[in-house]
Amino acid sequence: MENNFFILLTAFMPLFTALATLLLVTYNKAQRWVGLIGGLLTWASSLIVLGQVLDIGIQTYRMGGYVPPYGIVLVADNLSALFAVMGSTVMLAGLMYVLQSREKSVTYPTFLPLFLFMETGLLGAMLTGDLFTFFVFLELMVLSSVAMVAISDNPFGLEAAIKYVFISGMGSLFLLLGIAAMYTTFGTLNLADMAQQLATGDRPLLARSAAIMLMSSFLLKSAVFPFHFWQPDFHTTAPTAVSAMLSSVIVKVGIYMIIRTLTLLFTEEAAQLQQLLIVLGIVGIFFGSLAALRTYNGKRVLAYSTIAQVGFILVAIGWGTPVALAAAIVYAFNHAFIKSSLLMIMGLVASRSYEHSVDFVDIEGAGRMMPPLIGILWFLGSMSLAGVPPMNGFISKLGIVQSGVELGQWIPLGLAVSSGALTLLYMFRTWQRVFQQKKEVKLKILAYGDGMIAPTFLIAICILLGIYARPLVIIAEQTALQISDPQIYIDAVRLFSGG
């Protein structure tokens, strides 16, 4: 279909909601409810888009009615629609958490508009079919998340935010250089048009260097091993609702774009780039897991764990067969729910502790005095992250193992699986220190704290995706088949051809 209104709605509904919440800055309560309703509408429309994509095929929306490649086009194929559903679901849970959060920064009148601008950037970046529009959405996402970290309750949020703007600015710089190089070479910014010219014509050196520049900026945005150093500080000091989003869905934009560019644009260079991704992934898995083991802060453990989990996804992308790509997509989808729920649960603990901190010295044994639901949720979440059945983490690990066995890639597979044991180790270490240990000195615990609806919702999705995993796996397999042939995407966009 040429003009699917729901794609536009998915990408721009958060923007309209953000503007509405900006008008309501003096009415704190109304503002939050409007934000939640906007999140719900976005969620519903992203689900409708996914349903239509699975039923009818790839959907597009031509902005302003111009024919691509002359106009900007929003494209929802299986991959974009699936990632958009992931993003809008986790963001909806984030809005629920905001509604019940007791942090000071969350009550600032501009917090909610910024949160919704971040959602606009996230969904827009995943749905656009145009490289420069992707850059604009990405910058919107980065700048609004930076502003939210800078106003965090933690006094060092500002330091992490400044650090991140510099590093992310360098990433955007290379992205823009890559876009300029692609435009100079092909005279177009439309992804489908570029793919068509790359498939038929020769490959000038400038296009190859553009591949490297684009890839390095995507790796930086998803905090892969050599570009990871900003990530733990940035994700730990953010307000809980924001850090849950940053560590789960925001890092997936880079993953999404890596999959997209490797399968659509740089299909010939893919083999070399994928070798690199496997190595970076393995190093990232071990670095993240070992660093998480020697960290004494509940949120920091999870931030380092994100580096490790992104490594798993990269290894699967590096193998590159349809089975492995499906495994990578399932892994990315499941990890978003697990990680966001775990960070929210750490936020619950922090909001009930007297110092509002998650340093192990402050909250050692604090879990015993809190509502037992928190401990149960944390246990389920950490089981899921470690890949224990029947949670959804098991399904994603199973996909990785299956594709590795099929390819006979024994060394990377062995390393990846053995580091799964490390995941179990650091998650249970945290569980034991926070929720099991008894302390002689009487701890002071606040009787009230953040609400538990959002993490319960996410953990319920985790259990559901673990027990009833079949639909997700089937969709992921279809997606992997669809993106393995760039021609399907090119045909669906229906470029202007003469006349």
What are the phi and psi torsion angles at 75 (to 5°)? -120, 130
Radius of gyration of the chain (CA): 22
Considering the complex, state which of residue 18 and residue 324 has its C-beta at the smaller distance from another protein: 18
How far apart, in whole angstroms, are the C-alpha atoms of residue 363 and residue 355? 9
Considering the complex, state which of residue 118 and residue 189 has its C-beta at the smaller distance from another protein: 189
Segment contacting another protein (CB under 8 A): 23-31, 156-164, 239-247, 460-468?
A: 156-164
* Minimum separation from the CB atom of position 3 to another protein (A): 23
Considering the complex, state which of residue 229 and residue 410 has its C-beta at the smaller distance from another protein: 229
Percent helix, strand, coil in the chain, to 5, is 80, 5, 20
Helices (H), 320-409: 322-352, 360-363, 372-386, 392-407
Question: Does 191 engage in binding with another protein (CB under 8 A)?
Answer: no
| One residue of 23, 25, 107, 169 binding another protein per CB under 8 A | 169
Segment contacting another protein (CB under 8 A): 107-115, 135-143, 212-220, 369-377?
A: 135-143
Segment contacting another protein (CB under 8 A): 20-28, 54-62, 175-183, 456-464?
A: 175-183
Considering the complex, state which of residue 182 and residue 476 has its C-beta at the smaller distance from another protein: 182
How far apart, in whole angstroms, are the C-alpha atoms of residue 150 and residue 86? 26
Question: Does 495 engage in binding with another protein (CB under 8 A)?
Answer: no
| One residue of 15, 91, 126, 150 binding another protein per CB under 8 A | 150
* Minimum separation from the CB atom of position 35 to another protein (A): 22
| 195-254 residues near another protein, rule: CB under 8 A | 233
* Minimum separation from the CB atom of position 179 to another protein (A): 8
Question: Does 283 engage in binding with another protein (CB under 8 A)?
Answer: no
Question: Does 8 engage in binding with another protein (CB under 8 A)?
Answer: no
DSSP classification of residue 399: H
Question: Does 165 engage in binding with another protein (CB under 8 A)?
Answer: yes
Segment contacting another protein (CB under 8 A): 140-148, 446-454, 459-467, 476-484?
A: 140-148
**Is 222 in contact with 317 (CB distance < 8 Å)?**
no
The site that binds another protein (CB under 8 A) totals a number of residues, namely 29
**Is 365 in contact with 434 (CB distance < 8 Å)?**
yes
Question: Does 146 engage in binding with another protein (CB under 8 A)?
Answer: yes
Considering the complex, state which of residue 109 and residue 389 has its C-beta at the smaller distance from another protein: 109
Question: Does 162 engage in binding with another protein (CB under 8 A)?
Answer: yes
Q: Which of 204, 163, 166 is nearest to 183 (CA)?
A: 204
Question: Does 147 engage in binding with another protein (CB under 8 A)?
Answer: yes
Segment contacting another protein (CB under 8 A): 41-49, 157-165, 407-415, 423-431?
A: 157-165
Question: Does 155 engage in binding with another protein (CB under 8 A)?
Answer: yes
Question: In terms of C-beta density within 10 A (0-12 exposed, 13-18 middle, 19 or more buried), how is residue 166 classed?
Answer: exposed
Half-sphere exposure of 278 (CA within 13 A, CB side): 19
Which residues neighbour 139 within 8 Å (Cβ) at sequence distance 6 or greater?
121, 172
Considering the complex, state which of residue 103 and residue 233 has its C-beta at the smaller distance from another protein: 233
Tokens for 164? Answer: 């991140």
Tokens for 142? Answer: 């980065």
Q: Which residues pair with 61 in a beta bridge?
A: 74
Query: With the CA atoms of 413, 415, 419 and 420 taken in that order, what torsion angle do they form, in degrees rounded to the nearest 10?
Result: 10
**Is 125 in contact with 145 (CB distance < 8 Å)?**
no
Question: Does 272 engage in binding with another protein (CB under 8 A)?
Answer: no
Question: Does 173 engage in binding with another protein (CB under 8 A)?
Answer: yes
> Residue 278: in which H helix or E strand, if any?
helix 270-293
For 396, 456, 464, the CA distances from 381, given in Å and listed in that order, are 14, 10, 13
DSSP classification of residue 390: T
- Which residues in this chain contact another protein in the complex, by CB under 8 A? 132, 135-136, 139, 143, 146-147, 150, 155-156, 158-159, 161-162, 165-166, 169-170, 172-173, 176-177, 179-181, 183-184, 189, 233
